[in-house]
Amino acid sequence: MPNRLQVWLNETHVADLERRRRNDARIRIRYTDEAIERWPLNAPIVSCSLPLSSRPQDALPFLRGLLPEGDALAALAARARISAADTFGLLEHYGRDVAGALVIGSDAPDERRFGLEPYDEESLTEEVGSLDENPLGIHDDSELSLPGVQNKLLLVKTEDGWARPQHGRPSTHILKAEDRRFPGIAQAEFECLQLARAVGLTPVESEFLVLGNIPCLITQRYDRLVVDSAVTRMHQEDLCQAVGIDGSGNRGRAKYQRRSGGGPGFRAAARLLDAYAADATAELKLLVSMLAFHLATGNADAHAKNLSFIHTETAISLAPVYDTTPTLLWPSLTEEMAMSVNNRFSLQTLTVSDIVEEAGKWPLARDAAEQAAMETIERVAAGVGVVSSEELADVISGRCQALLAGAAADSS
């Protein structure tokens, strides 16, 4: 087993991952001479937490963010016959198609190895039904990974339907199977994504379907660009990775700012945008809009792995809204925000004034923050007709009415 892996970014060998010995959990990233000659030092090429440098850096928190969590991680490790703590070994097996544009492996990417195995309705249904035992639908020729705890399947959309990517072939879509503990949640997330698209907070398309008896949500990957069947990876990272925190740490709570999770919040995201965005003011206004959308739709689960950045050369911008669920519809789910707003967490008592005060600490001018928040909530209220669920539409309409009146959403 090698103790060095190559890291490729859009056909450039940008770095190597190194460990001293097989059982060493520590992993360092060392940028290549090619990367150092191409980009300015301290540029966020791989991650904001790993700026371009001639010195090796601890890459473990960022790399853990490329892998699933919990039982899914354990299942992938068991299949590879290694420990779930062996991040290096896991990326050697599953690092050819990960979130973002990095390709990680013992040698250079080779598109000639790419393959596709078509699904028909029966085989796709069978694959989804086995996700509990086989997370991500991993096969011996799969070399892919995706973070998170929910049952997911990576797919490629072809002219003939859905297919399974082989040997690191970049996937184009993510299928999420409904969590059986929360009936209706897949449909609700689909509805919220449709609304986010209607108000301009995401360009990606999604669809809802039932396979067997399992409701599923399929979404386009915002980190993949498809032109004439050719797939281009777009680099991205989530907020945990960008600040160098393993979101799966602290028994899975490190991605949350609430409940002593220790995770980053909106201010951490704002600081990164202020430092690295090409137009920081525009990105901070967009961050306000996303926050207002979460309040309007009753989503308390906007944690640091559900907020990401797109990388373009030496700059970053906010990734579109994704993984957005109206958690208030399920009483067993907390109504505490995953990240604080104006040092407060209660989704039911937050107001537009809290958004304005929060943004003022980023910093963003109060009038700009208020305008972005109010305009977003107005667009949500106007666009709620795309939501087919009467219950969800009523909840969102009521929250928008209260927020626009300057009250807390639970006063409606």
pLDDT tens, residue by residue, 324-379: 999 999 999 999 999 999 999 999 999 999 999 999 999 899 999 999 999 999 99
pLDDT score at 1: 52
**What ranges do the domains of the chain cover?**
4-105, 114-227, 235-411
CATH number for 235-411 (one of 3.90.1690, 1.10.1070, 1.10.3430, 3.30.70): it is 1.10.1070
Residue 95 binned pLDDT confidence (cut-offs 50, 70, 90): very high
Q: Encoding tokens for residue 131?
A: 């996700």
Q: Tell me: the pLDDT tens digits for 38-60?
A: 999 999 999 999 999 999 999 99
Residue of 326, 329, 355 whose CA lies nearest to 340 = 355
Alpha-carbon span 347 to 300, nearest angstrom? 6
Report, as an integer, the average pLDDT of 70-96.
94
CA–CA gap between residue 392 and residue 398 (Å, rounded)? 10
Q: Are 317 and 309 in contact (CB under 8 A)?
A: yes
Question: What is the pLDDT, as a whole number, of residue 412?
Answer: 44
Residue 85 has pLDDT above 80, yes or no: yes
Q: Is the pLDDT of residue 261 over 70?
A: no
Q: Which pLDDT score, from 0 to 100, does residue 252 have?
A: 84
409 has pLDDT over 80: no
Which 3-state string (H, E, C) describes the chain? CCCEEEEEECCEEEEEEECCCCCCCCCEEEECHHHHHHCCCCCCCCCCCCCCCCCCEECHHHHHCCCECHHHHHHHHHHHCCCCCCHHHHHHHHCCECCCCEEEECCCCCHHHCEEEECCHHHHHHHHHCCCCCCECCCCCCCECCCECCCEEEEEEECCEEEEEECCCCCCEEEEECCCCCCCHHHHHHHHHHHHHHCCCCCCCEEEEEECCEEEEEEECCCEEEECCEEEECCEEEHHHHHCCCCCHHHHCCCCCCCCCCCCCHHHHHHHHHHHECCHHHHHHHHHHHHHHHHHHCCCCCCCCCCEEEEECCEEEECCCCCCCCHHHCCCCCCEEEEEECCEEECCCCCHHHHHHHHHCCCCCHHHHHHHHHHHHHHHHHHHHHCCCHHHHHHHHHHHHHHHCCCCHHHC
Model confidence pLDDT, tens digit, residues 273-325: 999 999 999 999 999 999 999 999 999 999 999 999 999 989 999 999 999 99
In Å, what is the CA distance from 328 to each residue of 132, 193, 349? Answer: 26, 16, 13
